[in-house]
Structures are given as C-alpha cells and as structure tokens.
Amino acid sequence: MNDALSLTVETAADHHLVRLSGVFTVHDLPGAEPRLAAIAADRAVLLDLAALERLDTAGAWALDRLEARIAEAGFTLETQGAAPHLSALMRRVDAAIPTPDLPEDTGPKGLTGRLDAIGRRVVDMGKHGGVFLNAFGMFLYRLGQSLRHPSRFHLTALVAHCEDVGWRAVPIVSLLSFLIGVVLAFQGATQLRQFGAEVFVVDLIAISILRELGILLTSIIVAGRTASAFTAAIGSMKMREEIDAMQTLGIDPAHALFVPRILALILMLPILGLVANVMGLLGGGIMSYLVLDISPGIFLVRLIEGTDVSNVFVGLIKAPVFAVIIGVVGCNAGMQVGSNAESLGRQTSNAVVQAIFAVIVADAIFSVFFAEIGL
Amino acid sequence: MTEERDVVIRLRGIHNQFGRQVVHHDLDLDVYRGEILGVVGGSGTGKSVLLKTIVGLQTPQAGEIEVLGYDLRRGGEEARDKVDDRWGVMFQDGALFSSLTVRENVEVPLKHVPDLDPGTRAALADLKISMVGLSWSAGDKYPSELSGGMRKRAGLARALALDPDIVFLDEPTAGLDPIGAAAFDQLIHGLSRSLGLTVFLVTHDLDTLYAVCDRVAVLAEQRVLVSGTIEEMGRVDHPWVHDYFHGPRARAALTAKGET
C-alpha cells in the first residue's frame, strides 16, 4: 500500500465536508471505520472523492453505511468528484447490500425447549436402534442368500478382508495380551504372596485370560482398528456416490460390502482370541518364572490340572457374537455418512465408541448367562 | 487500447513434467490487467496444471513466473506472501471448507486483515455473498446443504473476499444448467468490470468464451499455441483450433451471442 488513506472532516454550517484521498481498501477499514462512525448525523454530508485513487468493496461498503446512517437521520449525502469506475463500484455495492431475512423460528424455548430436545433425542435413539437392527437383518438375509448361491459370493473380497482384519492385527493383539499376562502375574503375585498361595497365580492368570480378558481385549482392539476402517471405507464410498452407482448396476451394497467384511471378522476374531490367549498365558508364565520362581513345568501342570478346558470355550464362544456386533456397527455407521467430510469423521468415531460399548455390554450379559447356567 | 498494457501475469519457458509425461514445454503466456482471459484446450493439455503452476500448487521443473511484478520462482516466501492476498482462486466445485458455514468460509481470507472487528467481517462477508447472487439465508448454511451452482457462487464469494487483483476460475460453469451457467457468465463479467478484476478462466464452455472473454489462449502441443480475441481464433489455421472454433457447438454459441 504505497498511498495511505487520508480522511478529513470539515464542518460547515449546513453540512460536513468529508474528504477522502489515497487508497481506501479493506486494510484501511479498521482505522477508518471509527472515524466515519464519529461523523455526527446532524446535518447533510458532502463526500469529496476527487483525490481518491482506489476503492475496494470494503471501502465502498463503509461509505454506503455512512450514507445509510445520514439518510436515516433525515439528511442527504452527496458525492462529488468520484472517478467513473469508483461510482460504478459504489452503485454495485449499494445494489448488493443484503437485507436480513426474518429470523427463522427456532422452536420452543425455556423448559418446553429442553423437554422438546430430550424427546427428540429419545426418538432419535429409538430410530438409531431400528436402523442398526435393519442393517443386522440385511446382513443375515444377504448371508443366507450367499450360502444358497455360493457362486455369487465375493470370495476374493473375503480373503482380502481376512488378511486385513486378521493377519495384520496379530502383532498388536499378541503384544497387548502378552503385556496383560505380565501385569496379571505381577499383580497376582504381590497379593497372593501375603497368603503364601503363590502357586494359585497360575489359576488367576489362566481363568481371567481364557474366560474374559483374552477375547475382550482382542475385541476392543479390533473394534478400534476394524470398525473405524469399515466406516471410513464404506463412508467414503457413500460420499463419492459409489454406493448409489452400485445400486443402479444391480449390486446390493449389503451383499458386496457387508457380507465379506462381517464374515471375515466372524472367521478371524476367534483366531485372534486364541492368539491372545496363548500370548497372555506366555506372558504370565514368563513373569511367574521370573518373580515367583514357578518353573515352566509347574506352570504347565498347574494349568492343566487346575483349569478346566471349558474356560477356553466360554471365552471363545463369545468371539463370533462380538465379531457380528463390531462388523454391523462399523458397516452401518459407514452407510450413515452424509455428503460432507465432517460427517465421515463423526461417524468413524461414533462407530468405535458404539462398537466398544456394545461389546462390553454383550460381555456383561454373557457373564450373567454363564453364571446362571453354572459354567 | 492505445496505451502500453500492464502485464499482471507473465510466464516464460514453463516446463511441467510428471514422470515421463511432459505437460508443458517452453510455455509463454502474458495476462493483461483488467482482462478476462479464457484458457481452453483438449482434455489432458494441462489447463488445470497451468492454473496450479501460477498459484504455486505445482512447482514447474523450469521457467519463470511473475505475478504483479513479483518473481514467484526466486522470490521465495516473501514474494508469495505479497501476492497471496491479491489473488483469489475458485476451484471446480467451490472447495469450500465443509465444517464451516458459507459466511465463515468467506470470512476466512478476511481474517488476514489485522484489527478488523468481527461484526464488520461478518457484514463484509454478507456483502460478498449477496454480490455473487446468493440469498441472505445461504450464509448460515453448510456447503453440503447447497446445490452445485450455489457452491460455485459461494466459492467465488470466498475468492473475491479481499477484492483481489486477479481471480483464477477453474471451470466455473461446468456442471451447471444452461440458465445457471449463463447467469454465472453474467456475474463474472459484471464483477470483473465493476471491480476491475483480471480473470484467468479455465473453461470448456464455448458459451462462456463468447459471452465474457476478452481474449482466449489455446493450450496445445505442450504450450500456448495461440492467444488473441475470439475473432482472431476463427482465422487460425491449426486443425484443433479450427475444429474447436468452427464446430457445431461453436456456431451455436456464436449465434447465441449475436442474438443477445
């Protein structure tokens, strides 16, 4: 900006003479606005723009506002000496000054508004449950169809998803369950040593890992890893209208996208759970040896004698159920993605939260159930 | 025009290459102040790449880019900062930030102006939204709630927020219905005349070329093959240019122009 704006106001008996020279752009607005606002609307205004070289829409807007203020007080504002392109710009800005619409009705306020919002939330939650059940039903229906017509089944997709959700999750699942085994052994040892019952640490590790922690931990990792991936993949396809394209080509999205993904989870989650069990026991065994001097031999004997094999089945039988929950939540959230990037992000985080929540609720229900039937 | 014309964009010897595919080689182009330049060319001739090269989203392997007198290739950050506030770019689908409302989108460039109070900023944004022909209520909407044509208008409002010297428009009328496209042409023409804008317009739309462009540059054979007024284009003896400006669509557009 080589030419600064200069603004002078001379007050005569019947008018203010406002003289502008130099350049009046948006960068000069913060300085000029208060000075324009300071011009009292008590007499007519004569605006001298003869020395004004450049004006942008922001400057024209400020002058237009001055004019509106003067006109409101019942006086006139006259412009003199403006170059043709400046007055053309001022006319265009004046024509474009927006008039606010009537404020929209934002609904009831106060207590009624709160109740209204709660009511809407409850209805939304109900609808959400319905949508989830619908997705689940759709998956079962398409799975049944695939079983009846195996030739139409997307085997390649299934194998690819198995690799993605199963094989690639092995390192992180192994590492975390190994560490959980280590933690259990260490915590158990310090507590049980007080009673001289160190050897029971084997039972503690075995039962808690085989029955609960192995599969629960795996499911939570998979929910975080895979549910979000499903949502992001299906959601971005939804955003780019790929899902719509599939439907017009006679490909059912539930058949092409849901079935291979969820089936891959159902096949892989028990295997991952088994890996987690083995690694958890290994971690616990190593820690028992190091801290409690329980030799691997004793650990093994104690493990086989003290822990019933039913614990393993109680743990692993939950895996397919968790797999269906994670898969349906992830795929369904993907289908809920709208046409903007923000909803993709929101649905992805929703999917993870909902999947973990649902898995833990299902686990609690299983615990009560197994306790009731005495397993 | 009799006086020496003021060059605002000067490209010399631009070379763009992706892998082994040469997009531009030894490309020269001048854009003059206040004109509307239409850039045309077949698919894959690098129209959008050229736009990205000028605004700095694509670094050419060789060549000189001078915008408003600043050398953008050698001037570094400093030169870029100088010109950043003086150009606006409208991308194909508006490229609005989807987490912001239209008004907030238009306010983004206005935040570069120090000391501008929020009320004034919002009022200026509303003015720009109104100038591109959107209704008041559009300001509170999110981009996903707008139609394609409205998104383009909102994108133009954002590009114009700081009253730039130059605006770059990438296919402004692509995907609009004929009435919407004609209205957009009028909008660009009117704004460029009253605001004194220089417009760099990449387009496929012959109607736009005939209706608004002062000059046309044809990209072919990895360079600017010819540039000149649309009447001059009709006389160019090159197969692609000839087909382009003498095809049935060009004749229709010419007739349409004659009627208005």
Residues A262-289 have pLDDT tens digits of: 999 999 999 999 999 999 999 999 999 9
Does residue A240 share a domain with residue A319? yes
Separation CA A82–CA B55 (nearest Å): 34
- CA-based max dimension of chain A: 110
- Whether residue A65 lies inside any domain: the answer is yes
Task: Answer yes or no: are the C-beta atoms of A20 and A53 closer than 8 Å.
Answer: no
Task: Answer yes or no: are the C-beta atoms of B90 and B155 closer than 8 Å.
Answer: yes
Residues B162-201 have pLDDT tens digits of: 888 889 988 888 878 888 888 888 888 888 887 788 999 8
- Whether residue A272 lies inside any domain: the answer is yes
Does residue A341 share a domain with residue A264? yes
How many structural domains is chain A composed of?
Answer: 2
- Whether residue B202 lies inside any domain: the answer is yes
Does residue A255 share a domain with residue A309? yes
Residues A75-109 have pLDDT tens digits of: 888 888 888 878 888 888 888 887 776 666 666 77
- Whether residue A237 lies inside any domain: the answer is yes
Q: Which of A339, A340, A344 to mutate to test the interface with B (most CBs of B within 10 A)?
A: A340
- Whether residue B111 lies inside any domain: the answer is yes
- Whether residue A193 lies inside any domain: the answer is yes
Q: Could you say which DSSP state residue A230 is in? A: H
- Whether residue B242 lies inside any domain: the answer is yes
Centre a 10 Å sphere on the Cβ of residue A133 and count the other Cβ atoms it contains. 12
Does residue A297 share a domain with residue A199? yes
Does residue A82 share a domain with residue A187? no
- Whether residue A124 lies inside any domain: the answer is no
Residue A60 belongs to a domain with what CATH number? 3.30.750.24
- Whether residue B190 lies inside any domain: the answer is yes
Residues pairing with B220 in the sheet = B223
Does residue A255 share a domain with residue A164? yes
Cβ of A338 within 8 Å of Cβ of B144? The answer is: yes
Q: Could you say which DSSP state residue B139 is in? A: G
- Whether residue A118 lies inside any domain: the answer is no
- Give A184's pLDDT tier (boundaries 50, 70, 90): very high
Residue B13 belongs to a domain with what CATH number? 3.40.50.300
Does residue A271 share a domain with residue A160? yes
Separation CA B260–CA B255 (nearest Å): 9
What residue numbers bound the domain in which B114 lies?
A: 7-259
Instruction: List, as ranges, residues 85-144 from B with C-beta within 8 Å of A.
Output: 98-99, 110, 113-117, 120, 123-124, 126-131, 135-137, 142-144
- Give A178's pLDDT tier (boundaries 50, 70, 90): very high
Q: Quick check: A180 pLDDT over 90?
A: yes
Contacts of B128 (CB under 8 A, 6+ apart): A57, B106, B157, B158, B160, B161
Residues A122-175 have pLDDT tens digits of: 999 999 889 989 999 989 998 898 888 888 888 899 999 999 999 999 999 999
Task: Dig out the tokens for A95 from the structure.
Answer: 């024509």
Question: For residue A34, which amino acid is it?
Answer: P
**What is the sign of the dihedral through the CA atoms of A209, A280, A160 and A340?**
positive
Does residue A139 share a domain with residue A87? no
- Count helices and strands (H / E) in chain B: 10, 10
Helix or strand holding residue A295 (H, E): none
- Whether residue A275 lies inside any domain: the answer is yes
Backbone angles phi, psi at A217, to 5 degrees: -60, -45
Q: Quick check: A352 pLDDT over 90?
A: yes
- Whether residue A46 lies inside any domain: the answer is yes
Last residue of a domain, one of A96, A124, A157: A96
Q: Virtual CA dihedral for B41, B43, B44, B48, nearest 10 degrees?
A: 70
Separation CA A213–CA A183 (nearest Å): 12
Backbone angles phi, psi at B7, to 5 degrees: -85, 120
Does residue A245 share a domain with residue A343? yes
Does residue A301 share a domain with residue A228? yes
Does residue A162 share a domain with residue A233? yes
Helix or strand holding residue A6 (H, E): strand A6-11
Cβ of B135 within 8 Å of Cβ of A101? The answer is: yes
Nearest to B162 among A26, A92, A343 (CB): A26
Nearest to B38 by CA among B181, B172, B222: B172
The helix, strand and coil proportions of chain B, stated in percent and rounded to the nearest 5, come to: 40, 25, 35
Nearest to B131 among A56, A85, A96 (CB): A96
Each residue's pLDDT expressed in tens, for chain B with a length of 260 residues? 444 678 888 888 888 888 888 888 888 888 888 889 999 888 878 888 888 888 888 888 888 888 888 888 887 788 888 888 788 888 887 788 888 889 999 988 888 888 888 888 888 888 888 888 888 888 888 888 888 888 888 888 898 888 888 899 888 888 788 888 888 888 888 888 877 889 998 988 888 888 888 888 888 888 888 888 888 887 888 888 888 888 887 777 777 776 65
- Whether residue B126 lies inside any domain: the answer is yes
Does residue A73 share a domain with residue A171? no
CA distance B137 to chain A (A): 7
- Whether residue B184 lies inside any domain: the answer is yes
Q: What is the pLDDT of residue A101?
A: 65
What residue numbers bound the domain in which A90 lies?
A: 6-96
How many structural domains is chain B composed of?
Answer: 1
Nearest to B120 among A29, A89, A100 (CB): A29
